[in-house]
Structure formats: C-alpha cells, structure tokens
Homo-oligomer: A and B are copies of this chain.
C-alpha cells in the first residue's frame, strides 16, 4: 500500500501538432498537462506518458502490467488505435487496472468495448460555461471538491449520453446553453474500475484548473488497486463441495 501509484497517461497527441495557440496553455501537450496535474496532487506517484505514435502506442504488455491506472485522451484518431492494443487494455482493465476515460475519449474503442453501447452524445463547441455539481458527496471522488466547480469555457456535451446507467453517478454538469451532462460516472467491470470524466477539451485549458486536477487525482486513487494480482475473470468448473475446508466433494 505504500508503493507509489504507477500512472500512465495516454494521449493521441494530434491536436498538439495542428491547433494554433494550443501550446500557449498546453506547452507539453494534453498528456503533459495531465501528468503535471497528477504530480501536483499525488506527489509520490510515478507518472509516465504514452502516445499514439509510439510503438504499440506505448501500451505494451509490460507497460500495462506496470500500470495501476491508465488515463485515456483521444478525439479524432480513435480509428487508428490497433484493435490488438484495445483488446490488451480491455484485458488489463477487467484484470484490475484502473481506467480514467476523459472527455472525447467517450468515443474511443476501449470505452465503447467496455460499455457495450454507442457512447454517443450531443455536442457544441461554443465556449460555454460549464458548472459541475456533485450529486454523490459521500463518494471518494468528490472528496474535497467544491460545490459547484465552475469551468469558465468548455465544449458543451449534452444528453442523451448513451452509456449504461453508471454504478455511481458522481457529477452532473450544466452548460450555459441549457444542456446537462452526466460528467462524472463510475463503472466496475470485471476486477477493474473505470471513471469517466467529461471536462477537458483541446481548445480550453481545463486541465490546468486545480479543481479539475483534484477530481482526476481522486479518480486515480479510487480506481487504483495496487498490489492486486492482475487477472481477468475466467470460466471455471469445480466439483461439488470444492470450497469445503476439508477438501473434496462433501457428503452433506
């Protein structure tokens, strides 16, 4: 329990190469901003980054095996993520690795595969104010989070967001245009834990905001299961009474 948490931040890292001015607020890319926020909030964490252009997208078996929690940011390059890597991440999540899916990651292959739905939503990029409200104050991810958090400018996401009913709905946001969105939601799948968190877009410096960093750090701590053997559930067959203390099928 006293081992430092091992965090991997994944970013498709495409907008960074084409969006003028993005370097002003995200000089090290979205992944760099996320990593800096995590390091500020969880000083003893070990944070590394991986991007689409890395071999195997930087998500080798070894990297995932050494990762307690993976953060996923993608937007326009979802289709370029290899299915084999997606299957590998899926297996690790079901085996106990934590996963934070951020913003436009709702349409990533891994999130769709885990949710089983279209993960579609309505959207509008108009720099509206997002107000994020805690609806589950006793949840660990809401710990120390202001009620509400105001994000001055953000892409608008609106319902219907086609996800399974979350295990726990933690945050709901309004946008100044009148839309609402289930902006923070948890899902347990297999032996793993998933947190979807919608704030954060390539056009606005949302990940530099301390309250947002706090929520992401809370999400990481909640999703992490350090020290847990990593294995996805498997089918098994066992004789009657296999679990009895004195072994063998019971006479009962």
A120 is contacted by which of B143, B233, B238 (Cβ under 8 Å)? Answer: B233
Does A248 lie at the interface of the complex (its beta carbon under 8 Å from any beta carbon of B)? no
How does the 8 Å CB contact mask read for A225-243 relative to B, with 1 for contact and 0 for none?
A: 1001000111111111101
A147 is contacted by which of B123, B160, B161 (Cβ under 8 Å)? Answer: B160
Copies in the complex: 4
How does the 8 Å CB contact mask read for A198-224 relative to B, with 1 for contact and 0 for none?
A: 000000000000000000000000000
Of A16-24, A33-41, A71-79, A179-187, which binds chain B? A179-187
Q: Is the CB of B174 within 8 A of A138?
A: no
Does A108 lie at the interface of the complex (its beta carbon under 8 Å from any beta carbon of B)? no
- In the complex, A115→B122 CA distance in Å? 23
Q: Is the CB of A165 within 8 A of B160?
A: no
B residues in contact with A243, CB < 8 Å: 131, 148, 150, 178
Does A244 lie at the interface of the complex (its beta carbon under 8 Å from any beta carbon of B)? yes
